[in-house]
């Protein structure tokens, strides 16, 4: 059983920055596939950024050039550095991990960007 704990959300003005963290526990091995999704009321949860099983990265078009995903493998931790935030980035951000044929989700952290 993998547990994901997110931190780092908050309220920021447009143009500002935030850094999200997600720490995974309960896995004896490195979790290769981890990433971030976000959801706003009335819409489906969407990919923001993730590491693929092959070691690459995927980003949503809307965040390319502004957000950067990184990781500390030894700690099974992923980060999302969010720069030049826009009001459209507002939402609940969820950490996701795929391990041992199972998807795991964190509890979510709220990001609010004011205009």
The stretch 60-75 carries a mean pLDDT of 93
- Residue 54: pLDDT band with limits 50, 70, 90: confident
- Residue 15: pLDDT band with limits 50, 70, 90: very high
Each residue's pLDDT tens digit, 76-115: 899 999 999 999 999 999 999 998 899 999 999 999 999 9
Cα-based angle 22, 26, 28 (whole degrees, multiple of 5): 105
Each residue's pLDDT tens digit, 17-36: 999 999 998 887 888 899 99
Instruction: Of 24, 50, 46, give the one whose Cα is nearest residue 92.
Output: 46
In sequence order, the 6+-apart residues with CB closer than 8 A to the CB of 39 are: 45, 46, 91, 92, 94, 108
């Amino acid at each position: 059983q993998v547990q994901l704990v997110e931190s780092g959300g908050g309220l920021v003005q447009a143009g500002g920055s935030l850094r999200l963290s997600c720490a995974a526990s309960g896995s004896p091995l490195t979790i290769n596939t981890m990433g971030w999704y976000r959801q706003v009321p009335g819409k489906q949860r969407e990919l923001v950024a993730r590491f693929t099983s092959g070691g690459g990265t995927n980003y949503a078009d809307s965040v390319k050039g502004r957000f950067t995903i990184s990781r500390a493998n030894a700690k099974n931790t992923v980060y999302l550095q969010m720069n030049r935030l826009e009001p459209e980035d507002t939402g609940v951000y969820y950490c996701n991990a795929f391990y041992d044929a199972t998807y795991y989700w964190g509890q979510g952290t709220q990001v609010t960007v004011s205009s």
